[in-house]
Chain A
Amino acid sequence: MLAFGILAVILLASAIWTVSAKKPVYSVVALLLHFAALAATYLMLNAEFLAVIQLIVYSGAILILFLFVIALLSSGVAPFSVGPNKMPKLAIPAVVLVLVALGAVTVGVAHLVVPVATSTGGSPVGPAGTADVFGSVGDFGKALFTTYLLPFEITALVLMVAVIGVILLAGDRSPYVPSQKQAREVRREMREAIVRGGDR
């Protein structure tokens, strides 16, 4: 409970820091801290695989690309002095609505507590070769490739479409490169032109 409290404070503080930081790179650092704390929270819930994937995919790949872009674009630029945009009036009822919806979902879920295997006793450091428990890599894999095979495949397809879309949008803007055959042709014509010029 104490660990959860500490993590919750870190999660909230880093989330607020992420949106309120004046420099974009500070936002990235805050978000990195947030992801690390989130991974630790997953570990506390015995979701070992999810914790690891959170770090590998979000911190190790996605966030670093954010940093890549921000570092290139904002280097030497003065931080935003104006801060974030003013909140429009319409946003207040929207925020209230979202909070109510979230609260309703939380209460609903609290009544629907699913019994969970706790054989690792909440500790990520289990003895080697523990049987597949909830959230372990083996368990996760089995669920993904048997029960949820169709959603898994559909997600893969959607991602594939996204990748193809990116390639199309980025486009092939390489300069025109003649083929070997065309290059030979051009060289031959030039040689002939030179030879003709010499005859004259």
Chain B
Amino acid sequence: MHVPDWIVILIKSAILLLVVVTTFAYAMLAERKVLGWMQLRPGPNRVGPWGLMQPAADAAKLILKEDLTPKTADPLIYRLAPFISLLTAFSVYAIIPFGADSSGAWAIGNVNAGILLLMAITSIGVYGISLGGWASGSKYPLLGSVRATAQMISYELGMSLSFIGVLILAGTTSLDGIVNAQAHQWFIIPQILGFLIYIITAVAETNRVPFDLVEAETELVAGFHTEYSGLRFGLFFIAEYVNMLTVSCIATLLFLGGWNAPFGLAIVPGVVWFIAKVSFFMFFYMWLRATLPRFRYDRLMAFGWKVLLPLATLNLVITAIIVALKG
């Protein structure tokens, strides 16, 4: 029996959506647990065994909460903003491959300009935060959204430059091709500088500690989502965690060999390696949050423009020269 393509894509998308949402729910629980352990407290442990039902309880709470819209808010854009965030956060999963077999990479769409399309979609994500903060019609969200815009544009430059070294080495822009090019050596070894720049800019792009100036609670109440409550706040929250997952996936694909097994341990399936590597990055995020204090805003901008951008350019030039000399 032949199933039409669009039905296959629909089913794949539904499954992937379910996986990503579940991952989000348990990433949130894991973060609270890890933070708890690092601060010598048990973390959530009341709902279900080990607190495993906590995400369901949180979801129920967010759905039942009152959905407030401030009087000064712009109603249309205020309602639209969380959806822009969520839409862009989820749509990148259409092109991220998770593994491969003889018939090709496991992704919904295998695009030639994969990494570029990924950047294009994530660069739209900033609109959710900017518009949400502006439309709230109050000062702290506006400050948060202005910070978000400046910060995300600045760090996007360093981020894209740190990619290009990998693209030059792999000679392709398709995510599948980049992973295949790392079969013998992961790009983290020749591109260690690019990798470090990518990790730093990725944390800044997702507005996480120590670069969470966008929602700095000691200065801006809760930044761009101060006025949001209930499920609309929940959508921003989901988008933030899904973006964390996305940058972890990109780091794995670009620098840690994707689903390639290390040390020739090919007995374990590639997907398991992929999940393990992504989980490591997610843990790294939580580790940072428990360890580092927040940057000062002017230092954040100076660091992005005066340190990361020149270093990323240097990395690009050196990589290009080496590849050109090798022929």
Kindly state whether residue A130 has any CB partner on chain B within 8 Å: yes
A130 to B104, CA, bound (A): 13
A67 lies within 8 A of B127 (CB): yes
B113 lies within 8 A of A128 (CB): no
User: In the complex, how many residues of chain A place their beta carbon closer than 8 angstroms to a beta carbon of chain B?
Assistant: 34
Task: Say how far B152's CB is from chain A's closest CB, in angstroms.
Answer: 8
Among the 9-residue stretches A48-56, A96-104, A143-151, the one with 4 or more Cβ atoms under 8 Å from chain B is: A48-56
Chain B residues in 8 Å Cβ range of A61: 123, 153, 156
A126 lies within 8 A of B77 (CB): no
A71 lies within 8 A of B112 (CB): no
Minimum CB distance partner of B110 in chain A:
A128
Chain B residues in 8 Å Cβ range of A76: 72, 137
Interface residues as binary, B171-183 with A (CB distance below 8 Å gives 1, 0 otherwise): 0111011000000
Kindly state whether residue B317 has any CB partner on chain A within 8 Å: no
Task: Say how far A144's CB is from chain B's closest CB, in angstroms.
Answer: 15
Give the residue of B77, B123, B172, B173 whose beta carbon is less than 8 angstroms from that of A25. Answer: B77
Chain B residues in 8 Å Cβ range of A29: 77, 80, 131
Chain A residues in 8 Å Cβ range of B209: none
- Give residues of chain A (55-104) contacting chain B, Cβ–Cβ below 8 Å: 55-56, 59-61, 64-65, 67-68, 71-72, 75-76
A56 lies within 8 A of B134 (CB): no
B111 lies within 8 A of A129 (CB): no
Chain A residues in 8 Å Cβ range of B119: 52, 56, 60
Task: Say how far B222's CB is from chain A's closest CB, in angstroms.
Answer: 18
Chain A residues in 8 Å Cβ range of B153: 61, 64-65
Chain A residues in 8 Å Cβ range of B133: 71
Kindly state whether residue B52 has any CB partner on chain A within 8 Å: no
Give the residue of B116, B130, B137, B146 whose beta carbon is less than 8 angstroms from that of A137. Answer: B116
Whether A128 touches B116, Cβ cut-off 8 Å, given contacts A64-B126, A64-B153, A72-B146, is no
Minimum CB distance partner of A133 in chain B:
B112
Minimum CB distance partner of B123 in chain A:
A60
Minimum CB distance partner of A74 in chain B:
B134
A55 to B118, CA, bound (A): 10
Chain A residues in 8 Å Cβ range of B111: 48, 124-126
Chain A residues in 8 Å Cβ range of B74: 23, 25
Chain B residues in 8 Å Cβ range of A59: 120, 123-124
A127 to B109, CA, bound (A): 9
Chain A residues in 8 Å Cβ range of B320: none
Kindly state whether residue B290 has any CB partner on chain A within 8 Å: no
Whether A64 touches B176, Cβ cut-off 8 Å, given contacts A49-B113, A71-B146, is no
Chain B residues in 8 Å Cβ range of A136: 112-113
A25 lies within 8 A of B134 (CB): yes
Kindly state whether residue B105 has any CB partner on chain A within 8 Å: yes
Kindly state whether residue B193 has any CB partner on chain A within 8 Å: no
Interface residues as binary, B72-98 with A (CB distance below 8 Å gives 1, 0 otherwise): 101011001000000000000000000
A129 to B174, CA, bound (A): 7
A67 lies within 8 A of B113 (CB): no
Chain B residues in 8 Å Cβ range of A38: none
Chain A residues in 8 Å Cβ range of B135: 25
A130 lies within 8 A of B127 (CB): no
8 A-B pairs closest in CB distance: A60-B123, A55-B120, A71-B134, A52-B116, A128-B176, A125-B109, A128-B110, A56-B120
| Residues of A that sit less than 8 Å from B by CB | 23, 25-26, 29, 32, 36, 39, 48-49, 51-53, 55-56, 59-61, 64-65, 67-68, 71-72, 75-76, 124-130, 136-137
